[in-house]
Each structure stands twice: as structure tokens, then as C-alpha cells.
Amino acid sequence: MENNNQKNPPIIMLIDDTPEDLYINHRVLKKHAVYKEVIQFSMATDAILHLQNEELEHSAIPDIIFLDIHMPLMNGFEFLDAFDALPAPVKHKCKIFILSSSFDQDDIERSKNNPYVKQFFEKPLTKEVLEKVLI
Amino acid sequence: MKISVLKHTTPSRILLSVYAGLFFLLAITGYFVMKEAGDTNAKYNDISGNSTRKLALIGEIRTGVARVEIAVLRGISVNDDLDKVNELKSMNSQYEKNNAKLEDYEKLISDTMEQVLFHDMLLKRNENTKARIALLRMNAGMDHTPVFNHQIEFQNEQFEKFQQTLTQLSDYIILQTASKDRQAKDSVQAAVKHIAFLIAATIFLLMLMGFLIVRAIRKLMLTNSELTDRDEKLQTQKNLFEGLLESAPDGIIGINEKGMIAIFNKQAENIFGYNREEILGELIETLMPERFRKPHEAHTAGYFRSPSNRVMGGSQHELYGKRKNGKEFPIDIGLSYLETSEGKIAISSIRDVTERKKAEQQLRSSEEALQQSNRQLKEISSSIPGAVYQFVIDENKRGKFLFVSEGIKELSGYTPEEIYSDDHKMTEGIPSEDLQLLNQAISESVKTLKPFLVRYRILDRETGNYKWVRSNAVPFVHPNGKTVWNGTLINISDAKLAEEELHRKNSELIKTNEELDRFVYSTSHDLRSPLTSVLGLTDFIESESSEPETIEHARMIKARIQRLDRFILNILNYSRNNRVEVETSFIRFKEIIEATIYHLNYMEGVGKIQFETQIDDSHSFLSDPVRITTVFENLIANAVKFQNFNQPKPVIRIEIKTGPGHAQITVRDNGIGIAPEHQQKIFNMFYRVSGKTPGSGLGLYLVKEIVDKLEGTLDVQSEKGSGTTFSIILKNLQNGK
């Protein structure tokens, strides 16, 4: 996979309402990951709008999305609901990981039960987590 | 015992004397009838003779004037007609005088007649003219004849009168005679009838007598064998009598006029305890208690004066007998009597009523007990708050109260009596929706025969407010097939108010709790979110700094942050444990423990500790994985925290063994241990052994709470300096929950 990634580095999308966390996550990615592009959204609604865009080429669809749960206006779960309505190519290509400070079991269970969520990680994003995601 | 029987000849004797009397009566009657017939006959003969004589006399009178006197005198004397006699007598004397004159006249007449005849002859002879003769006649008449003729005419008139009288008399006599004759004939006929009847009656009686005499004679002629047969029959009857006497259910005692016992049957022996042989001939008073003896002697004498069949004593008097052993006992006595050849015998049939009296006494006392318990029921039922009732559904499906206690007055405003007379009063003040509930509950209870419990409202007619009552009744099917409930009706207005208050408070509390939960949840999140940012940033410092002290500081910051993080986690878990229902699934102990140890990596010294796990979860174990995770996190964190790192080999050993009913979990460390005085307090909220040790004091409290929630037990064994063992037994929640 690592070879794969090197040949075809992923597009990574970060959705988090906290600027510090976006900064940390971006910095961890820069330090420990190989990627084609990092797209950041502090509003989940903007992220959905981006993914809904019909002009979005297949190559521009993110491969990995790190999604926070607790966000104003549209939280992580609402994003997942909206994601369900997105075009099939988008849904097929995006792998969603929850990256949240919540350790509430209900949040964790609910995340794990969502078909689009690959895994649940506690913040902060670390090298160990990235290794699991990018393998 | 001896019984005299009347001799069998006596009835014949009586019959004979009756016949004799009858015959005598008949003879006397015959005599008088005959006498009267004779008298009548004689009278008839007299009358008949008299009449004959009278008729003869009258004939004579008619035939001869001369005999008139006799006839008249005789005939009249018979008739005893004094006036007529006197008249006749005077007439007779007149007549006699007249007669005498008549005789003279006759003589004169005959003389004259001769002269006349002579003159006639002369006339005829002379054949003179008629005038001459007439003249002659005139002359003659003028001389003698006119006077004479006048006298003759007068005499003739008198005589005709007399003749007439005689004729009347004769007719009267004839009439009388005919009437008497008829009377005589009638009386003779009557006499003949009497005589005929008498003769017939006599003949009948004679025949009857003959028949009876023949019978009597035949009876008298009974042979010896017949007499023997009769004796045998008598014996049989006697045996029968004695058998009856002996088998009578009552004691039968006969006493003679002297008051001595003459009959004493088997049952009497049983009752009084005397043998027949020893008691026969004794005074009846022997069988009585002392106090009855004297009055009884008088009663006995009185009874024999006018014996009758009756019951002795009567309802007012209790009679007692005395047994041979001296014991008294109550008895009933019936009295009757027998006439025997040896005189009157008073028969007493005696019944020992000890048992009956006892039963009566028991009945009385049980009635008293019943009344007593009725009183108690009333007292008790009226003293309890609310009311008790008995209620029946009749064949018309109408409810009816068989009993309601006094307390109903306070609840419904009506007395039990008013409710008995009108059942509607019981449901009057119930709002229709409540009444519907009540009726539903009752019909359900009719079907299922299960108790019903309904809370409903009754309008308080005094205040206009509703009272809340609770009606609770247990049904049973009465032997008559109807369903009957025994129930209570209790005023629960206060309880209802309290309940409403409680409900209000409860919902307030629920709301507050929910708010608190939301608060804890959002707070813990709000607290944690910046912590994770700080952790991320500290990671950068730690990994990117070349300053050893900065790296060390970053690590310290990180440790403190993680401590705070665990604390926040525990607060959230505590809140969660109270809030969230237990959700069961299969517990993968290995995974949980590995994840826990991984999460505790941040803790100081974790790397130096040797973790030993021995897991036997071959029995699948169901419980709440989230809570169990919290338990392990806290127990292991606690073991790490209180580990003794000065020893060569710090160990935390975790043993798990699952079974069908329970799982046994132990977490053992060889750390610093807990002093005995702290051991029971470590599970208290926010309890901390000392200020030096890290921790919030929430961890073990949370463990205890969760174990309780998962229906388990938690125990701690510890020795200061050598380590601590936590033992948990958790229920396998595979059945339900």
C-alpha cells in the first residue's frame, strides 16, 4: 500500500470546527504522511457542498476524510446522513474516519455502526493513527 | 309385669241383658196397645149398641106414639142433653096431658065419627040435598065439630112439631151414630196397624235375639284347643308388646297408683343404671333428685285422679333424673296411662336429653359467639378508615351491596342503610369516566375471577370537591353461583395528593437529571476538546524540541492532561452509569483488557509493570461491555497508580473465569497495599487515602456503582506493603436484561 500511496498519493479532507485541531491534524499529516492534497473545512456544510459539486472530477474526490463529531450547524452524524445522499462515485471513493475528542460510548457506538465510517479515533491525531489509516 | 284381659263371655252377657230389656219394653208396649185397642173396641161396642138401641127406639117411636116417651127418655138420656131432656120432659108432660085430652078427643071423635057416620049415613040415606047435609054438617059443626076440629088441628100441629123434632133428633142420632161408627172403624184400623207393627217388631227382635243367643251359645261352646290358640295369640301379643317395650328408644317406666315402679324397660335400665330386678316395686321417687321427690308424690296422686296423655314438665320446667350412681341428668318425660286388671298404671316415656341440652348449650354459646363476632365486625369495620364491603352481581347483572361498613358515610355521604335501599347512591357521585373504569374493572373481574383495584373519584356533596378512593376487592363464587366480592374502599385523597406531588417532583427530578446529564456530557466534551488540542500540541513539543528540559516539561504537561482527561472520562462514565440502561452483549475480556492497558500507556511506570492475564471465558458471558470496560480501566489504573516500583518485579495479574451463572474477576497487584482502616472507605465517593497519591477518588466509587448495577459483588483484600486484590463476581446476564 505504501507503494501504492507513493505512486498515487491520496487526497485527504479534514473537517473540524476547531482551528487548532485543523492546524495540529494538518501538521501531523505533513510530518508523517504522503498525500496529494489536504482539503480543510471548518464547516461540515461546506464540505458537503464541495463533494456535491458536479464539476468535481473523479480524481479530485478525497480518498480519506477525517471527520469531527461535535461541530456547530452540522455535526459529524448529520454530515454522514448528507453523505449518504451524495453521488455513488463519491461514496465509493471516500473512506471516512472519525477523529473526535468525544469518548462518549454512545458517540463511539453510533460512529462504528455507520456503514461509511471505517474507524473511530480519539484526538489528537498521531503518527500511530496515521499508520493505521494509510496502510 | 301382669296384664288382665276381659273375659271373652262378657260381651254376650251384655247383649243378653240388652235383649231382655228390649223384650220387656216390647211386652209393656204391647200390653198398652192391646189395652187401648180393647178400650176402643168396648167404646165402639157401647156406641154401636147405644146407636142400635137408639135406632130401635126411634123405630119404636116412629111406629108407636105410645112408645115415644120411653124412646125419647132413653134416647135422650144417652145423649145427656139436659136441655133437650127437660124440654122433652115438659113436652112429654104436655104431651101426656094432650094425650089424655087426645084420648078424650079420640073417644069424642070416635063418638062424633060415629055420629058423623050416622049423620052421613043419614045424609046418604036421606040423600037430601047437599045443602042439607052441609047444613047438617054446619049444625053438627056448630054444635061440636068446629071446636073439636080446631082442637084437633092444634093437636095435629103440636104433634107435627113434635114429629119434626123427633125426626131432627133421629137424623142427629143417625149422623152421630154414623160418625161414631166411622171413628170406631178408624180406631179399630189403627189398632190393627199398631198390632201388626208390634207383631212384626216382636218377630224381628225375637229373630235377632235368637241369632244372638245362638252366637253366644256358640261362643260359649269354644273348645279347649281354641282357648289354647287364643292363649298363644295372647302370649304372642304379650311378647310383641314386651318386645316393643324393650326396643323402644325411650326409657319406659310404669308406676301403679301407689307410686311403685311396675314397668321398667331395657332403655330405662340403660338410662338410670338400675337393673329391673332391683328397681321393680321401688317408689318412682328413687329415680329423682332429692328436691323433686316431695312435690312429685302429690303430682302422682293428682295424675291418677285424672289421667291423661301429656308431656310432663313443660317448657318452663327442666326435669332431672338421678342415676344409680347419684348423678343428675336432664330428661324429657311423656305421660300416658294404662287400665289393667290390677288397676291404673301411669306410663312415663323418658328420654335422656343430656346430649341435646349440651348441644343447645353449644348452640347458645355459638350464637353468642356469632353475635359477639358480629359486634366485633361492626366495631372493627366502623373503626377502620374507609369502608369494607361485600358486593354481589345478581342475575340481572346489577350490583348489590350485601354489607357496607359505617365508614361509607364519610366517603359517599350515605349511610349503609341508605345504600342497601338504593344501590345507585353508591355510584352517584362518581364522574362518568371514572365509573366506566370501575365498571370495566368489575366486568373483567367477573370474567377472570381475579381481584380488581380501581382508583376513582367521588364527589363530596358537602364541599363539592372530589375525593379520591381506592376500591380493592377479591372475588369468589358463592355456592349459589353468584360472584361475590369482599373489598375495601379507602380514601386515598391524601395519598393521591402526595402521589401527584411525588409525580411532579419526580418529573422535575427527571428533568433536572436530564439537564445534569446533558450538562455533564457537554461539559465533559467541552472540557476534553481543548485537552486533546493541548495533547496534540504537546506531542509536537515533545517530539520536535531538542531541549531535554522542554521535552521533560512537555511530558509532564501531557501526564497531567491525561490525568485530567481520565477524570473527565470517569465523570462522564459515572453520569452514564446512572443514566443509561444496561445493554448486554458478549463480553470479549481479552480485547477489553488489551485496549485498557493500551489506553493506560500514558501512565507513569506502566512500561515497568508486568501484566499477566489468565482468561478462561469458554462459557459465553453476557453483560454490559461499556461498563465492564470502565471497571477494568479503573481497577488497572488503580493498580498501576499504587504499584511499588521499588521492587524488582512489579506485577499486575488479571484472572477471569466465566461460568453459566457468573464470572469471577480478580485484579491483583503486588503494590503498596491499603491499610485496614482505609479498606472499607476506598469505595466512597471522592475518598482518597492520602494527599500524596494521585487520583480523584472517583474511580473505585464508579467501579462499585457499576458492579452494583450489573448485579455483582465487589470485594477487596489488601495488606499494607504486599499488595491488593480486587475480587468481582459478575452475574451472567444471559437470561433477559
Within 8 A of A124 by CB-CB distance, chain B residues are 532-533, 535-536, 539
Residue of B461, B469, B467, B468 whose CA lies nearest to B487: B469
CA distance A56 to chain B (A): 32
Query: Closest to B533 (Cβ–Cβ): which among A18, A102, A106?
Result: A18
Residue B331's region, left for phi above 0, alpha for psi from -120 to 50, else beta, is beta
Residue matched to cell numbers 461514496: A91
Query: Closest to B540 (Cβ–Cβ): which among A27, A106, A123?
Result: A27
Q: Write out the three cell numbers for B613.
A: 492475564
Distance CA B247, CA B241 (A): 10
Distance CA B292, CA B197 (A): 68
Within 8 A of A18 by CB-CB distance, chain B residues are 529, 533
CA distance A113 to chain B (A): 15
Q: Write out the three cell numbers for B221.
A: 261352646
CA distance B641 to chain A (A): 22
Within 8 A of B569 by CB-CB distance, chain A residues are 103
Determine, yes or no, domain membership for A5: no
CA distance A16 to chain B (A): 11
Model confidence over B127-146: pLDDT tens digits? 544 555 455 555 555 444 45
> Are A124 and B539 in contact (CB < 8 Å)?
yes
Find, in chain B, the residue whose alpha carbon is nearest to that of A102: B525
Distance CA B699, CA B638 (A): 8
Determine, yes or no, domain membership for A114: yes
Q: Write out the three cell numbers for B119.
A: 049423620
Determine, yes or no, domain membership for A109: yes
Domain boundaries defined on chain B: 1-221, 245-352, 384-491, 492-580, 583-731
> pLDDT > 90: what percent of chain B?
10
At B397, is the pLDDT very low, low, confident or very high (cuts 50, 70, 90)? confident
Q: Which of B533, B537, B583, B598 to mutate to test the interface with A (most CBs of A within 10 A)?
A: B533
Q: Does domain B583-731 have CATH number 3.40.50.1950?
A: no
Instruction: Provide mean pLDDT across the span A4-30.
Output: 86
Q: What does the DSSP assignment read for B42-80? A: HHHHHHHHHHHHHHHHHHHHHH-GGGHHHHHHHHHHHHT
Collect all residues with Cβ–Cβ distance below 8 Å to B551 and sequence separation of at least 6.
B541, B542, B545
Structural domain total, chain A: 1
Predicted confidence at residue B314, as pLDDT, reads: 59
Q: Write out the three cell numbers for A85.
A: 445522499
Give yes or no for residue A15 having a pLDDT over 90. Answer: yes
Find, in chain B, the residue whose alpha carbon is nearest to that of A123: B532
User: Looking at the domain that runs over B245-352, which CATH code has it been given?
Assistant: 3.30.450.20
Model confidence over B75-88: pLDDT tens digits? 544 455 556 656 66
Collect all residues with Cβ–Cβ distance below 8 Å to B502 and sequence separation of at least 6.
none
Predicted confidence at residue B306, as pLDDT, reads: 78
Q: Does domain B384-491 have CATH number 3.30.450.20?
A: yes
Determine, yes or no, domain membership for A11: no
Predicted confidence at residue B3, as pLDDT, reads: 43
Model confidence over B144-200: pLDDT tens digits? 445 555 655 666 676 677 667 767 766 776 777 677 778 767 877 887 788 888 888
How open is the CA angle A80-A83-A86, to the nearest 5 degrees?
Answer: 170
ipTM of the complex: 0.82
Residue A123 sits at the chain B interface (C-beta within 8 Å): yes
Q: What does the DSSP assignment read for B153-187? A: HHHHHHHHHHHHHHHHHHHHHHHHHHHHHHHHHHH
Q: How many residues does chain B have?
A: 737
> Are A103 and B626 in contact (CB < 8 Å)?
no
Within 8 A of A70 by CB-CB distance, chain B residues are 525, 529
Domains B245-352 and B384-491 share a fold: yes
Structural domain that includes position A105: 52-59+86-122
Model confidence over B316-359: pLDDT tens digits? 677 888 888 888 888 888 888 888 777 888 888 888 888 888 88
Residue of B28, B20, B18 whose CA lies nearest to B198: B28
Query: Closest to A104 (Cβ–Cβ): which among B531, B532, B572?
Result: B572
Residue matched to cell numbers 220387656: B24
Contact B308, B316 (CB under 8 A): no
User: Looking at the domain that runs over B492-580, which CATH code has it been given?
Assistant: 1.10.287
Within 8 A of A103 by CB-CB distance, chain B residues are 528, 569, 572
DSSP H helices in B280-383: 290-305, 354-383
Instruction: Provide mean pLDDT across the span B556-572.
Output: 84
